[in-house]
């Protein structure tokens, strides 16, 4: 059975580690000076070399040769995902007291250490703070934010960087050359992009595609698109063109074509983000779209969300717009007749009136149920529900006004993290592209006399008192 490429080309020394020179340089200097820490913490995204560095470092500390199949009794690897209980850590505390079998140090590598339970962290803390002289801990995690500060402060931390597409493509090219895999430059770049900063994922994709490629043509850009379910570059270009030219027809037909090809909305969104990111310096007008596309992945209906995000920028032109570009009409009439026409009352433009009424939010929000909105946020977005439940609302021709009672609630409603949740809740109730305004006060009092009293008293809130029928 052949060895997977990512295992075959896993680094076997600190010099072979790609893209993390800021870490390997420091570690090599420390090893050369004999300055060994009692605990190391390696953090960063997946597939960038944390486990490889941990294994290499463990062997270097003990001056042992390292290869992929090497096993040593004094180098112990523990997967915290499956050994995360307090009993597992208590067992570990007992074993660290035993001296190494043959090496100078007993090294414990704990992978995905953030998976340990809180009691397990507490049990590990004392041992990590004052381990026996013969013990070294190397902790690795993809989610450092979940580690207690007490654990982090007792280690030497090294932050791994995500691999750049350029570095990934260069590394893939070396492997392809060694493996005699024919691949074009565009395919290399696309695989590197889809690897999303992970060497392991990029090499895994190369391995997968090598088995699908034709011996003559090798791995082409088209093969990568087909194998990974990606949209052709022409579809991405047409969607961006439709957005920039305000053509909803182009957007809808292109999305339909994408759906017929079996391309997932999440994949399409990811490609759009990548395409915009590479051209944002020359096309800054796409920046608002880039911001909105991030929300698509969080939607329960990404296909619909993607359509609304792209189409929201389009503007339906009224029929009267055609008159603006029509050739001028030459009117031949006596001057008195023209003067008479000028004095006559001009009729209202029915087309313009229709355009205004079509934009009136009161029609769009007809039958709007505020409680339904509050209930929806209670079920799906508890953080925003706690504020909305205390607010009141009003609807006018411009949109929905939310009276947030005070500045604190208004700031929370306006926060970029929470404002999209209100829009998503409205969309879930069938109200799309609604303008939302927030006011840092309670709703205005409807009773004129009460309003005057409230103004004198410095503010107030209208309360409806129901009669008991007596």
Q: Burial-class residue 411 by CB neighbours within 10 Å (0-12, 13-18, 19+).
A: middle
**pLDDT at position 349, please?**
41
What pTM did the predictor assign? 0.59
Question: Domain 165-227 adopts which CATH fold?
Answer: Helicase, Ruva Protein; domain 3 (1.10.8)
Whose tokens are 């090893």? That residue is: 31
**pLDDT at position 448, please?**
55
Instruction: Identify the CATH class of 5-159.
Output: alpha beta
Q: In the predicted model, is pLDDT for residue 322 greater than 50?
A: no
Q: CB under 8 Å to 73, separation ≥6 — which residues? A: 101, 102
Q: Where are the domains of the chain?
A: 5-159, 165-227, 233-311, 362-439
**pLDDT at position 222, please?**
87
Domain at 362-439, CATH from 1.10.10.10, 3.30.300.180, 1.10.287.130, 3.40.50.300: 3.30.300.180
Sign of CA dihedral 123, 125, 128, 133: negative
Of 171, 212, 207, which Cα lies nearest the Cα of 189? 171
Among 10-14, 107-111, 351-355, 390-394, top mean pLDDT goes to: 107-111
Q: In the predicted model, is pLDDT for residue 451 greater than 80?
A: no
What percent of the chain is modeled with pLDDT above 70?
84
What percent of the chain is modeled with pLDDT above 90?
29
Of 299, 215, 233, 240, which Cα lies nearest the Cα of 265? 299
**pLDDT at position 336, please?**
52
**pLDDT at position 198, please?**
87
**pLDDT at position 254, please?**
92
State the average pLDDT over residues 287-292.
Answer: 87
**pLDDT at position 175, please?**
92
Do the domains at 165-227 and 362-439 have one common CATH topology? no
- Which of the two residues, 465 and 360, has the higher pLDDT score? 360
Q: In the predicted model, is pLDDT for residue 341 greater than 70?
A: no
What would the pLDDT profile of 237-246 be if each residue is shown by its tens digit? 999 999 988 8
Of 407, 406, 436, 408, which Cα lies nearest the Cα of 421? 436
What would the pLDDT profile of 112-121 be if each residue is shown by its tens digit? 999 998 888 9
What gap in Å lies between CA 55 and CA 66, rounded to an integer? 8
What gap in Å lies between CA 96 and CA 107, rounded to an integer? 9
What would the pLDDT profile of 162-195 be if each residue is shown by its tens digit? 888 888 999 999 999 999 999 989 899 889 888 8
Q: At how many degrees (to 10) do helices 370-380 and 419-428 cross?
A: 110
What gap in Å lies between CA 436 and CA 421, rounded to an integer? 12
């Amino acid at each position: 059975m052949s060895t997977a490429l990512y295992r075959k080309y896993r680094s076997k020394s600190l010099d072979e580690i790609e893209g993390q020179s800021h870490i390997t340089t420091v570690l090599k200097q420390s090893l050369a000076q004999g300055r060994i820490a009692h605990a190391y913490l390696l953090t960063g995204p997946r597939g960038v070399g944390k486990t490889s560095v941990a294994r290499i470092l463990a062997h270097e500390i003990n001056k042992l040769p390292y290869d992929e199949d090497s096993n040593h009794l004094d180098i112990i690897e523990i997967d915290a995902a499956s050994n995360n209980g307090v009993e597992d850590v208590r067992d570990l505390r007992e074993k660290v007291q035993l001296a190494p079998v043959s090496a100078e140090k007993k090294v414990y590598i704990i992978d995905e250490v953030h998976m340990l339970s809180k009691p397990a962290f507490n049990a590990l803390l004392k041992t990590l703070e004052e381990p026996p002289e013969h013990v070294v801990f190397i902790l690795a995690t993809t989610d450092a934010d979940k580690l207690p500060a007490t654990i982090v402060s007792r280690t030497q931390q090294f932050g791994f960087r995500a691999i750049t597409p350029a570095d990934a493509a260069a590394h893939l090219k070396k492997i392809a050359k060694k493996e005699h895999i024919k691949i074009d430059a565009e395919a290399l770049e696309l695989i590197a992009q889809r690897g999303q900063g992970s060497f392991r994922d990029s090499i895994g994709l190369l391995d997968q595609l090598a088995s699908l490629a034709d011996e003559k043509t090798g791995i082409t850009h088209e093969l990568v698109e087909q194998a990974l379910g990606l949209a052709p570059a022409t579809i991405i270009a047409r969607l961006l063109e439709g957005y920039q030219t305000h053509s909803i027809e182009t957007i809808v037909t292109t999305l339909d074509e994408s759906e017929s090809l079996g391309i997932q909305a999440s994949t399409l969104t990811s490609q759009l983000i990548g395409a915009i990111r590479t051209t944002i310096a020359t096309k800054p007008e796409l920046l608002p779209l880039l911001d909105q596309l991030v929300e698509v992945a969080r939607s329960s209906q990404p296909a619909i969300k993607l359509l609304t995000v792209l189409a929201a920028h389009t503007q339906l032109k009224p029929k009267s717009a055609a008159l603006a570009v029509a050739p001028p009409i030459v009117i031949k009439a006596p001057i008195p007749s023209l003067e008479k026409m000028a004095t006559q009352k001009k009729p209202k433009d029915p087309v313009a009136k229709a355009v205004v009424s079509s934009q009136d939010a009161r029609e769009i929000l007809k039958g709007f149920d505020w409680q339904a909105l509050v209930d929806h946020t209670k079920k799906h977005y508890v953080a925003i529900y706690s504020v909305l439940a205390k607010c009141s609302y009003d609807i006018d021709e411009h949109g929905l006004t939310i009276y947030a009672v005070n500045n604190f609630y208004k700031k929370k409603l306006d926060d970029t993290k929470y404002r999209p949740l209100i829009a998503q809740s409205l969309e879930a109730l069938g109200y799309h592209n609604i303008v939302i305004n927030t006011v840092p006060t309670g709703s205005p009092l409807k009773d004129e006399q009460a309003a005057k009293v409230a103004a004198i008293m410095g503010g107030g809130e209208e309360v409806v008192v129901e009669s008991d029928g007596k």
